[in-house]
């Protein structure tokens, strides 16, 4: 559920008309609903309420500092994949003891920064990385808490670009290699193997793959215990899907029940890393119609947002629902919604039935709160969009619109 709704003949974000936001902040504009973010985070927190648990928001989904601060005040931890995301999390006031560092390519300076901050643990993806973390921790005369990411070879039944738990994926270790890595970690004086990690993919619409992976991890944890490796944290990653079109993904409560049933009588702290499921439907991208164009083959609605603002449709063929900011009750027609960028792949929607539009009118691209702004760029030297957070009637400018000077500031 989200708090973007049509009433009084217009689209509202909580208690603010989207038309008013367009006039105040311009377009393209990312609009986030604080009430939706709280609702979705609490759904995960409550789903695991009967277990020792930690919900770590996946920063790669949306790294805006104001948004991270809002979630941190609710008790959220974060899952990071870079030193820059660590810096954002600390700037937002996230407790370092609730930060998990994932990713296959951690650099030496990032490892040192994370150790200095006192993060909860590293999710280790290879033996060389494990050895590298050990050397750095030893040089700093500290001990690095780690988990090893297991690749359980479970098909998440999602888009191949966001599948991460198959043998052919670059992530994690299979269980045979992971067993040797855990023994290496057990015997290393500067490493404390406290956890086990798994992430099988994103935009999952079934519980089955989660349960299959969990069963494999628990059996593996029992094997490790017999070798003197005691796992205290079980990180199941994220990946629970959201509704973009007609998907009907399971609820966090469904996932929580499945996990609780499998973990009965086990002394483990469960970590989940939801990103899209918290932020995805908590944000929209608002854009303004520049022109309409009719050719013998197509009808085009040309808007001021583009693939540099929201790349998912071009990158994944992803579907985002699009609606008028102020419905006009006009007859619908088949159109492509496209942006100003000089690429044929610059589209927000193709072959979509939308009411006839006029220049100056607004469109809202829904479910844009995750992997929207974080994947945006300055391609074609386009300044990136502004971001606002609406909380009831209060509006916070969470990131100002970039200027032409911002585009060249690092080149002068």
17 annotated to bind ligand: no
Tokens of 170: 């670059």
371 annotated to bind ligand: yes
Of the candidates 1, 248, 264, 342, the residue annotated as catalytic is 342
Helix 127-139 / helix 108-117 crossing angle, nearest 10 deg: 60
d(CA 12, CA 107): 44
Per the annotation, the verdict on 342 as an active-site residue is: yes
Determine how β-strand 269-272 pairs with β-strand 283-294. Answer: unpaired
321 annotated to bind ligand: no
d(CA 33, CA 364): 14
186 annotated to bind ligand: no
d(CA 329, CA 334): 16
What residue ranges in 69-182 does DSSP mark as E strands? Answer: 77-80, 99-101, 121-124, 144-149
Question: Which whole-number Å values give the CA distances from 272 to 11, 213, 235, 236, 252, in the listed order?
Answer: 33, 14, 6, 6, 10
Question: Which whole-number Å values give the CA distances from 53 to 88, 98, 290, 294, in the listed order?
Answer: 23, 11, 48, 55
343 annotated to bind ligand: yes
Q: Would you call 100 helix, strand, or coil by DSSP?
A: strand
316 annotated to bind ligand: yes
313 annotated to bind ligand: no
Q: Which helix (H) or strand (E) holds 18?
A: helix 18-25
Q: Using CB atoms within 10 Å of the CB of residue 259, give its burial: 0 to 12 exposed, 13 to 18 middle, 19+ buried.
A: buried
Binding positions for substrate: 276, 312, 316, 343, 371
Binding positions: 239, 273-276, 312, 316, 343, 371
Binding positions for pyridoxal 5'-phosphate: 239, 273-276, 371
Catalytic residues, by residue number, are 342
């Amino acid at each position: 559920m989200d708090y973007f709704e049509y009433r009084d003949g217009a689209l509202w974000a909580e208690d603010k008309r989207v038309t008013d936001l367009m006039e105040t902040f311009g377009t393209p504009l990312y609009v986030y609903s604080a009430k939706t973010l709280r609702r979705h985070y609490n759904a995960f927190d409550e789903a695991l309420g009967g277990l020792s648990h930690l919900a770590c928001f996946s920063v790669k989904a949306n790294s805006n500092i104001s948004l991270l601060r809002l979630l941190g005040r609710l008790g959220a931890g974060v899952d990071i994949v870079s030193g820059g995301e660590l810096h954002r999390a600390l700037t937002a006031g996230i407790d370092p003891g609730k930060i998990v560092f994932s990713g296959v390519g951690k650099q030496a300076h990032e490892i040192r920064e994370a150790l200095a901050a006192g993060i909860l643990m590293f999710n280790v993806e290879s033996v060389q990385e494990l050895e590298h973390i050990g050397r750095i921790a030893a040089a700093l005369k500290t001990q690095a808490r780690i988990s090893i990411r297991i690749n359980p070879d479970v098909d998440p039944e999602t888009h191949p670009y966001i599948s991460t738990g198959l043998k052919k994926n670059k992530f994690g270790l299979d269980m045979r290699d992971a067993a040797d890595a855990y023994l290496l970690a057990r015997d290393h004086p500067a490493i404390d193997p406290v956890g086990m990690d798994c992430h099988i993919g994103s935009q999952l619409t079934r519980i089955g793959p989660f349960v299959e992976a969990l069963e494999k991890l628990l059996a593996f944890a029992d094997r490790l215990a017999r070798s003197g490796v005691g796992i205290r944290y079980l990180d199941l990653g994220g990946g629970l899907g959201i509704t973009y079109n007609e998907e009907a993904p399971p609820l966090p409560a469904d996932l929580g029940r499945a996990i609780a049933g499998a973990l009965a009588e086990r002394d483990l702290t469960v970590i989940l890393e939801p990103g899209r499921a918290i932020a995805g439907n908590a944000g929209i991208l608002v854009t303004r119609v520049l022109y309409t164009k009719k050719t013998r083959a197509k009808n085009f609605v040309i808007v001021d947002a583009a693939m540099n603002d929201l790349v998912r449709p071009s990158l994944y063929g992803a579907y985002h629902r699009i609606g008028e900011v102020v419905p006009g009750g006009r007859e619908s027609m088949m159109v492509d919604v496209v942006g100003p960028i000089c690429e044929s792949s610059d589209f927000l929607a193709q072959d979509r039935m939308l009411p006839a539009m006029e220049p100056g009118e607004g469109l809202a691209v829904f479910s844009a709160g995750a992997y929207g702004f974080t994947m945006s760029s300055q391609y074609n030297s386009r300044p990136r969009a502004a971001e606002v957070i609406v909380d009831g009637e209060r509006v916070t400018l969470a990131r100002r619109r970039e200027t032409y000077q911002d585009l060249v500031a690092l080149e002068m």
